[in-house]
Structure 1
């Protein structure tokens, strides 16, 4: 297989002119997203360039301590993003989310690196950081969906919940149908994605490896590992996050202490 082909910065800049298409759509339909689109693209570009420069340094340094610190930063930022996007108060909910992401991520990193890929050293940043990024990145949306559906149910189905409490049900038992529904909805996108992977879509990791010159069958093996790990990560992180969130959000009597934040107020 050929080595990866580099992309000239000037050609990349010219390619970015395709952004004129969504900007034209914005103007035609008066969507009012030109400013946010421009800011998002600029932020994405700056962040990716800075991260690329940092990762080059990180890969060369390959320090266990620095890798652990970087993973901790990724987890904390991810947990903060989940709470913010779900329009829920960061405190105390950020703590169960950090726990959920950590307890689901670390065993999977150990299983994929030490048990399967076996890089040398085992904490090789070239493998640890991208794997953690893919697992965490794919977990964010599912956790957001889970929390939004859970607390929406507490608001919209309040009478059903309070009726169960008044009849003697424990808060955990009364909220169980809400938890079930939240978990089902949070896992629906990944289940649909897995069902169509290979036929409808070629996942990013597999495509990236093939473009980088890897053998397609090797790329497929890595993609299978990632898809299975992502599904497990989603399932475990959502369950831990919801269970621990309920511990913080419910009183012993069943009162819900956490409410959505009204960003318009």
Structure 2
């Protein structure tokens, strides 16, 4: 037994609540309405296309097509990460791509092989949804990690250079910024794990219950996916900083200003 289907009319009924939202924004002179409309339209269009494409993927269940789709997802995620971190895509795409790909692929296939124990590790109904959850959460963590790391050095470059002048190695001089970026990136997930089940019922667990799974089965899956998300976020953030150092700094260990997107 699956979840109750939603008619287009019942789905459209949710848009009624946009009326008071738009009214309040207008009264408070919040310039958000245009952005909200654009985001909502994009969400609906993108999810509609994804729904059609996922039906195609699930039907053919081709390892090659599934892998290509995941690589495309990672590429789009990398572009979003760098853009949100105010870093140039051309300069740092490759380091961030591999920093995301390596932990993501390892955790994803470990999840399918050891945790779920499916025969076909490229099974579309496991590979794509689980991969999407891992990537979606990594997106936020790596953005926070990279942004904190490089913006912190930018703001305190004199302190960093002073540390180098005291004969500290680049790694030693960068350690405070590295620690701060890792902490900032994983704290939201740690906080979420500490309150999950008490404050909210997470999406995967809710989806499985609506899909007919027993609550205890849904809980097991949710614990597994939360741990997998945390590990992927943690290692991806660390690697994204480490892999970007070669491009981010010159041979004199000075921060390369040309990695940043010009705000002018």
Q: Would you say same fold, with TM above 0.5?
A: yes
Aligned residue number for residue 260 of structure 2: 260
Cα distance in 2 for residues equivalent to 1:244 and 1:122: 28
Asked whether the equivalents of residues 113 and 119 of structure 2 are also in contact (C-alpha less than 8 Å), the reply is: no
Give the superposition deviation at 1:120: 4.3
Q: Name the SS of the counterpart of 1:30 in structure 2.
A: coil
Asked whether the equivalents of residues 171 and 252 of structure 1 are also in contact (C-alpha less than 8 Å), the reply is: no
Q: CA RMSD in A?
A: 1.2
Give the superposition deviation at 1:211: 1.7
- Count of aligned pairs between the two proteins: 263
Aligned residue number for residue 78 of structure 1: 77
Aligned residue number for residue 178 of structure 2: 179
Give the superposition deviation at 1:15: 2.2
Q: Name the SS of the counterpart of 2:143 in structure 1.
A: helix
Cα distance in 2 for residues equivalent to 1:182 and 1:16: 38
Aligned residue number for residue 190 of structure 2: 191
Q: Cα deviation per residue 1:218-250 (whole Å; 9 max; x = unaligned)?
A: 110110010000000010000000001112111
Aligned residue number for residue 129 of structure 1: 128
Aligned residue number for residue 237 of structure 2: 238
Aligned residue number for residue 14 of structure 1: 13
Q: How does 1:11-160 map to 2 (within 5 A)?
A: 11-160=10-159
Cα distance in 2 for residues equivalent to 1:183 and 1:64: 34
Give the superposition deviation at 1:114: 1.3
Cα distance in 2 for residues equivalent to 1:171 and 1:94: 23
- Between 236-245 and 167-176, report the one with greater CA deviation: 167-176
Give the superposition deviation at 1:119: 2.9
Cα distance in 1 for residues equivalent to 2:87 and 2:115: 38
Q: Cα deviation per residue 1:152-206 (whole Å; 9 max; x = unaligned)?
A: 1111111210111111112121111110111111111111111111111111111
Aligned residue number for residue 219 of structure 2: 220
Asked whether the equivalents of residues 23 and 34 of structure 1 are also in contact (C-alpha less than 8 Å), the reply is: yes
Cα distance in 1 for residues equivalent to 2:250 and 2:38: 42
- Between 133-142 and 242-251, report the one with greater CA deviation: 242-251
- Between 222-231 and 144-153, report the one with greater CA deviation: 144-153
- Between 97-106 and 16-25, report the one with greater CA deviation: 16-25
Give the 4+ runs in structure 1 shifted more than 6 A.
Answer: none
